[in-house]
Structure 1
Amino acid sequence: MLDRYAADPAVRAATFVVLDFEGATPAGYPAEPTEVGAVLLRLRQEPAGHWDLAEAGRFESLIRPPDHAPVTAFDTRQTGITAAMVAGQADAATVLARFDATLTRPPYVTVAHHARTEAGILRRYATACPALAAAPMLDTLRLARHAHPGLANYQLDTLLAQLGVPTPPDRHRALPDAVVTAAVLQALLADGARRLRWATLAQLQALAGLAPPHLAAEQATLF
């Protein structure tokens, strides 16, 4: 239950976009997405009166990577995504622009596990997805370090076991990973409210926030 957060107007106004990319990892280049999955969450009051994050939408799509980033056998072993599956798909800019066009109710906060990976992709495709790229980010890995210090590691599978979130059979596909990351977010926020008195979006951003990707891109051009 997330009742403590309901008093914060910023939390009540926000839509949390829990995002996951699967990707190809070409040598000498940054990762290129081969699939995106997202779950949109908003704080809602349940009939019993308690507040929780409720699903407000989903998005998923395969993505054709550029020629310099082909899907390799290693990538397929990791995700189950093959070169044939992505061959006829739209490229990343087209897919992300399509997703971005559905985001018509700001403000947004993007959420990802080890969010620098997602931030890097959004930064490079910022012109295609301006709403996503303009949103501040929360990293569930960083939140977990504060809520559950002392774990051996903070990989997503470790947190699923720690928090009692079932591992989906298609783990390492984008939408299932976004779904379980959303469950991890909800569990961490509940733990933080109960034990650490987390109550505001500003607190969460101070603990686990990243700057909006488009700001990082603009800053990089100054140096």
Structure 2
Amino acid sequence: MGDLTEDPAFAATTFVVIDFEATTPKGYPAQPIEVAALALRYESGAWAAGRQFSSLIQPPAFAPVTPAVTAQTGLTPEQVSQAPSPAEALGALDRRFAAGKQYLLVAQHAATEANIIYNQREHCPALARIDLLDTVPLARYLVPGLHNYQLDTLLAHFSIKQPADRHRAYADVEVTAQVFIRLVSAADGNPELSDLAALVKIAGRTAKWNLPVQGGLFDI
């Protein structure tokens, strides 16, 4: 392909597409009720899918699954009532990340995932240190002129079939991965996106745990 996929830093990176479904109780941040992830590597001129992960997550008592959440995701209070706790589910995902390897998380509207991960960082410290790529600004740059950059719009633009269980975490991960692959293919022919650093400049989001802490005015 082009310069981007020939960049050694790009080739050395495992891209982990991630998605959460969540419930957002009044007065609290979003609480995850499902997570899914899929590892992608670009090797020998082609994409290779690696390990995948999916788990329901039992929300705290103050964050019940509401009828609105059920209408969107299909998940019911009964389904999550016996699910693993956030510590169990996110801890299991966290152990998938090997020390010393280079990762980037990929998400559609990555601020949502970044906030959930940061708020759950005690359960997933390795995951919480990984920076993100957001498919929304990347798509805006590479596919200008769409009326919006929601996932459904990008699926239609790239002729990617809507999954039957859209708004479940793993279904959304699979189609987001397809969108990301299409976007990388478009970027590969763009001389302004010749390496991973250029991609990150356009679509990167620093993990909140990696941001510098601003000390108070009178801190000693």
Work out the number of aligned pairs and report it.
Answer: 215
Is 1:202 aligned to 2:201, yes or no?
no
Runs of 5+ consecutive residues of structure 2 not aligned to the other structure: none
Q: How does 1:9-24 map to 2 (within 5 A)?
A: 9-24=8-23
Tell me, yes or no, if the aligned pair for 2:108 and 2:134 is still in contact at 8 Å.
yes
* Offset of residue 129 of structure 1: 1.2
Q: How does 1:96-175 map to 2 (within 5 A)?
A: 96-104=90-98, 106-175=101-170
Shift >3 Å, 4+ stretches:
none
Partners of 1:21 and 1:149 in 2: how far apart?
A: 27
Secondary structure at the residue paired with 2:213? Answer: helix
Q: How does 1:9-88 map to 2 (within 5 A)?
A: 9-45=8-44, 51-88=45-82
Q: 1:65 to 1:196 in 2, by over 3 A?
A: farther
- What is the one-letter code of the residue matched to 2:118? R
Partners of 2:4 and 2:187 in 1: how far apart?
A: 11
Secondary structure at the residue paired with 1:204? Answer: helix
For 1:179, the equivalent position in structure 2 comes to 174
**What TM-score do the two structures reach when normalised by structure 2?**
0.93
Partners of 2:40 and 2:95 in 1: how far apart?
A: 17
Secondary structure at the residue paired with 1:219? Answer: coil
* Offset of residue 199 of structure 1: 2.7
* Offset of residue 195 of structure 1: 4.1
* Offset of residue 98 of structure 1: 0.7
Secondary structure at the residue paired with 1:78? Answer: helix
* Offset of residue 61 of structure 1: 0.2
Partners of 1:128 and 1:199 in 2: how far apart?
A: 36
Partners of 2:209 and 2:87 in 1: how far apart?
A: 15
Tell me, yes or no, if the aligned pair for 1:108 and 1:132 is still in contact at 8 Å.
no
Tell me, yes or no, if the aligned pair for 1:39 and 1:56 is still in contact at 8 Å.
yes
Tell me, yes or no, if the aligned pair for 1:144 and 1:188 is still in contact at 8 Å.
yes
Q: 1:172 to 1:196 in 2, by over 3 A?
A: farther
Share of identical aligned residues, percent?
A: 43
Runs of 5+ consecutive residues of structure 1 not aligned to the other structure: 46-50
For 2:83, the equivalent position in structure 1 comes to 89
